[in-house]
């Protein structure tokens, strides 16, 4: 219940701030900045070879080659530098974990099959050292998602700076996350375990188990649907018997009514097909996540207009006899088929390497333009926040990076960083340790 209240207030806060009324929330900066003489890669429009971006009240106030600089603006001379929208990592556990082996800091996976009512945002630690490490490499926004059970819970889009998780929340909840049961003995993240390798199950057994788990998912969703119908009926007719509140079913109502997207974590082609059948039957609005074999069902995904969050790209192929570069060419094959894509690291500590996942996909056939878009405007569209982030356009949140080159290239340096219009210092636990020990006599 407390969770729900928190979410309510978060949503309220977001609605209020986005309506533009009180702009003195700490989430947004009151400072005005003008980034001058910059090469501006707007992503949605043409590149402006030499122009100005004005940031005011946390938003992009003006963009163009001939923009007047407000008198009170702090000016950043970006001669020789480029401005890009902040990059978006579409699948992380940022804020939910600190040190892998230390259980006390692990909040990624709850116990139980059905965790539909969990809100990831309340567990995001704004002081996590992973956040500055990611943002100083240009990641300004991330989807942080729960991982445990068949139904893992609800994700949030967070900006990687803020005093509290409320300030960090760009959108919450974003989606319901389901770990799709695999029938391939590989793939799915944290869904359920097929037992020790010493006692491998046959494919037949694995698939029987998969069908059982899918049935379980269907039952959970159908029960939520019935719960919703009972609730509606009760609203119409107060003489009907009292209906006990069920938080899990309550949380699934927007899902079964097609209002909240479902992110289905699934890797193998056969499982993806099964997931699509499941989604059709349950009338869900879905997004595929992981999808290492999505390229094998690209046409099907296109026909059903299902976006794919690809990643990690930097991984092994799913099968021994797959081409060595199968995970690298996945993105370009999906793009060619017309599927909407975005990238994720599925990581926290090294979310900073997001650009190199996209870069590897670009080395293996994806155009550089699409690689950048799959880190900016495509995820903004997929997550329903294209009006707020993902490009350099007037009115959007001022999440910007200023670089000395292509942000997908490893040797490129980030020179300035803006989140919510705040100029965020380019320091992290790593730069601090570096400076400290560089100075050791």
Partner 1 sequence: MKKVDAIISIALALLLSFATSAQSLPHTATQVTPKSNAAILKQPLAASAAPPTNAPAAKELLITNATILTASHGTIKNGSILVRDGKIAAVGANLKATDANAVVIDATGKFITPGIIDCHSHTAVEGAINEGSLSVTSMVRIQDVLDPYAVNVYRELAGGLVTCNILHGSANSIGGQNAVVKLKKGKPVEEWFIQDAMPGIKFALGENPKRSNNLGANVTQRRYPATRMGVEETIREAFIKAKDYMREWQEYEAKKANDPQAIAPRRDLQLDALVEILQGKRYVHSHCYREDEILMLLELGDEVGFHVQTLQHVLEGYKVAKEIAAHQTGGSTFADWWAYKLEAYDAIPYNAALMTQRGVITSINSDSDEHARRLYLEAAKTMKYGGLTEEQALRQVTLNPAIQLGIDKRTGSIEVGKDADFAIFSAHPFSVYTMVEMTIIEGEVYFDRKQDLERRVALKKEKEELMKKEREMRQKGHMPTGRPAQPQPLPGAIDEELLDHGHIKPETQEVRNDQ
Interface residue list for partner 1 (CB under 8 A): 98-102, 129-130, 184-187, 189, 200, 202-205, 207, 268, 270, 314-321, 323-325, 348-350, 352-353, 355-356, 359-360, 362-364, 368, 408-413, 429-430, 433-434, 437-438, 440
Least spacing, CB of residue 167 vs partner 1, in Å: 24
Residue number, 21 or 411, with CB nearest to partner 1 = 411
Least spacing, CB of residue 26 vs partner 1, in Å: 28
Least spacing, CB of residue 206 vs partner 1, in Å: 10
Residue number, 163 or 316, with CB nearest to partner 1 = 316
Residue number, 208 or 257, with CB nearest to partner 1 = 208
Residue number, 242 or 438, with CB nearest to partner 1 = 438
> Which run of H or E residues covers position 108?
none
Residue number, 15 or 203, with CB nearest to partner 1 = 203
Go through 83-113 and write b for each residue having 16 or more CB atoms within 10 A of its CB, e for each that does not: bbbbbbbbbbbbbbbbeeeeeeeebbbbeeb
Q: Torsion angle, CA of 161/83/371/264, rounded to 10 degrees?
A: 20
**Rounded distance, CA 136 to CA 414, Å?**
7
Give 326's contacts (C-beta < 8 A, 6+ positions apart).
Answer: 292, 293, 295, 317, 318
Least spacing, CB of residue 12 vs partner 1, in Å: 34
Structure tokens at 140: 């300004």
**Rounded distance, CA 418 to CA 426, Å?**
10
Instruction: Tell me the residue ranges of DSSP E strands in 322-406.
Output: 341-343, 400-403
Strand partners, 89: 142
Least spacing, CB of residue 282 vs partner 1, in Å: 23
Residue number, 4 or 201, with CB nearest to partner 1 = 201
CA 388 to chain centre: 14
Residue number, 387 or 435, with CB nearest to partner 1 = 435
Least spacing, CB of residue 30 vs partner 1, in Å: 33
Strand 414-419 and strand 87-92: the pairing is unpaired
**Rounded distance, CA 330 to CA 339, Å?**
11
Residue number, 192 or 364, with CB nearest to partner 1 = 364
Structure tokens at 314: 């930097």
Least spacing, CB of residue 36 vs partner 1, in Å: 26
**Rounded distance, CA 359 to CA 355, Å?**
6
Least spacing, CB of residue 272 vs partner 1, in Å: 12
Place of tokens 């319901």: 176
Of residues 206, 211, 220, 261, the one with CA closest to residue 114: 220
Of residues 175, 157, 177, 176, the one with CA closest to residue 14: 157
Least spacing, CB of residue 274 vs partner 1, in Å: 10
Residue number, 7 or 134, with CB nearest to partner 1 = 134
Q: What is the largest CA-CA distance in the chain?
A: 81
């Amino acid at each position: 219940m407390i969770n729900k209240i928190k979410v309510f207030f978060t949503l309220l806060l977001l609605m209020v701030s986005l309506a533009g009324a009180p702009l003195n929330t700490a989430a947004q900066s009151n400072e005005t900045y003008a980034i001058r003489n910059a090469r501006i890669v707007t992503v949605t429009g043409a590149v402006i070879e030499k122009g100005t971006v004005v940031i005011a009240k946390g938003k992009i106030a003006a963009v163009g080659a001939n923009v007047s600089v407000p008198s009170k603006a702090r000016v950043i001379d970006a001669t020789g530098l480029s401005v890009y929208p902040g990059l978006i990592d579409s699948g992380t556990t940022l804020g939910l974990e600190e040190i892998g082996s230390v259980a006390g800091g692990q909040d990624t996976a709850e116990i139980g099959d059905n965790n539909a009512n969990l809100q990831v945002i309340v567990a995001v630690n704004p002081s996590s050292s992973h956040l500055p490490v990611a943002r100083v490499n240009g990641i300004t926004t991330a989807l942080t998602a729960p991982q445990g059970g068949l139904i893992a819970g609800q994700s949030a889009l967070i900006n990687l700076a803020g005093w509290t998780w409320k300030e960090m929340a760009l959108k919450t909840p974003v989606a319901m996350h389901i770990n799709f049961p695999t029938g391939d003995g590989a793939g799915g993240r944290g869904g359920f375990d097929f037992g020790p390798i010493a006692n491998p199950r046959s494919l037949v057994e694995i698939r029987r188990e998969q069908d059982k788990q899918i049935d379980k998912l269907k039952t959970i969703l159908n029960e939520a649907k019935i719960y919703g119908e009972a609730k509606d009926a009760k609203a119409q007719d107060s003489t009907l018997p009292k209906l006990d509140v069920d938080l899990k079913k309550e949380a699934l109502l927007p899902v079964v009514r097609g209002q909240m997207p479902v992110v289905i974590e699934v890797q193998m082609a056969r499982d993806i097909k099964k997931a699509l059948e499941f989604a059709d039957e349950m009338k869900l609005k879905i997004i595929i996540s992981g999808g290492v074999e999505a390229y094998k069902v690209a046409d099907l995904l296109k026909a059903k207009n299902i976006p794919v969050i690809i990643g990690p790209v930097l991984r092994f192929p799913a099968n021994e006899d797959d081409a060595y570069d199968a995970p690298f060419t996945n993105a370009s094959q999906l793009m060619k088929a017309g599927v909407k894509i975005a990238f994720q690291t599925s990581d926290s500590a090294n979310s900073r390497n997001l650009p190199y996942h996209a870069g590897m996909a670009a080395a293996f056939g994806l155009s550089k333009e699409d690689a950048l878009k799959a880190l900016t405007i495509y995820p903004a569209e997929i997550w329903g926040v294209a009006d707020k982030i993902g490009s350099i356009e007037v009115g959007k949140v001022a999440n910007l990076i200023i670089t000395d080159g292509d942000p997908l290239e490893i040797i490129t340096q980030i020179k300035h960083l803006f989140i919510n219009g705040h100029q965020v210092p380019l320091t992290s636990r790593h730069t601090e340790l570096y400076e400290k020990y560089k100075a050791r006599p």
